[in-house]
């Protein structure tokens, strides 16, 4: 199956927070990953987005960057579980950890560890023209920084941002009641002009 939307409970998780199914679906859809795409998944956590991206980029490759060793272990186990061969877990912190990687068609940012501007600068120089950055923001500050960056780089990027709030209905006896999932902002940025980077 090449379609995103693996159920949350199928991933091996430990205590690492994981992007919920619906957010993963929208993230992957907004990223528009072509079959031969090179994808960076920055702050990959459990690797749930990396796995879904790797299933899309079946003739390409996904680099899952994560600073937490527990996360690196989970990424490898999930890659194995979903039989994904085109996924490499990279232990380290962005932007430094990105320097050795091949240029990318898509960068997904799940976590930026207070280095968002430096990460965006580096992606900016290494993302192919037409390529996309999809940034999942769970904090107001990351969202504001992303907006500020995109506003000051409008010559290079177009962007759109959505906030997504999902409630799941749960059955309780004869009733169904809504259980809220924390909302998230998804920023999608497309590199529309070349910056002369490599």
Q: Considering the complex, what minimum distance in angstroms separates the CB of residue 124 from its own copies?
A: 20
Site residues (vs its own copies, CB under 8 A): 1-5, 22, 25-26, 29-30, 32-34, 56, 114, 138-144, 147, 151, 160-169, 171-172, 174-183, 185
- Judged by beta carbon, residue 171 or residue 198, the one nearer its own copies is 171
Minimum CB distance to its own copies smaller for 22 or for 121:
22
**Shortest CB 37 distance to its own copies, Å:** 11
Whole-number Å distance between alpha carbons of 89 and 72? 6
E strand or H helix at 136, and its extent?
Answer: strand 127-137
Give how far Cα 44 sits from Cα of 26, 52, 78, 152, Å: 16, 12, 12, 27
Cβ nearer to its own copies, comparing 50 with 73: 50
User: What is the SS3 assignment for 74?
Assistant: helix
CB of 76 vs its own copies, minimal distance in Å? 26
Residue keyed to tokens 């998804």? 186
Q: Nearer to its own copies by C-beta: 155 or 180?
A: 180
| Dist. CA 116–CA 30, nearest whole Å | 20
């Amino acid at each position: 199956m090449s379609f995103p939307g693996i159920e949350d409970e199928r991933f091996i998780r430990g205590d690492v927070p994981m992007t919920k199914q619906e957010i993963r679906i929208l993230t992957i859809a907004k990223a528009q990953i072509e079959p031969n795409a090179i994808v960076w998944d920055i702050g990959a956590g459990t690797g749930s987005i990396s796995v879904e991206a790797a299933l899309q980029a079946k003739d390409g490759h996904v680099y899952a960057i994560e600073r937490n060793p527990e996360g690196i272990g989970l990424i490898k186990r999930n890659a194995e579980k979903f039989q994904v061969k085109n996924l490499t877990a990279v232990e380290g912190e962005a932007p430094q950890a990105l320097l050795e990687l091949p240029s990318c068609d898509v960068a997904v940012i799940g976590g930026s560890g207070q280095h968002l501007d430096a990460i965006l600068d580096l992606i900016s120089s290494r993302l192919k023209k037409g390529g996309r950055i999809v940034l999942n923001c769970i904090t107001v500050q990351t969202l504001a920084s992303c907006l500020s960056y995109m506003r000051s780089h409008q010559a290079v990027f177009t962007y759109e941002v959505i906030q997504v709030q999902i409630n799941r209905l749960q059955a309780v006896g004869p009733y169904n009641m809504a259980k809220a999932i924390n909302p998230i902002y998804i920023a999608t940025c497309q590199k529309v002009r070349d910056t002369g980077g490599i």
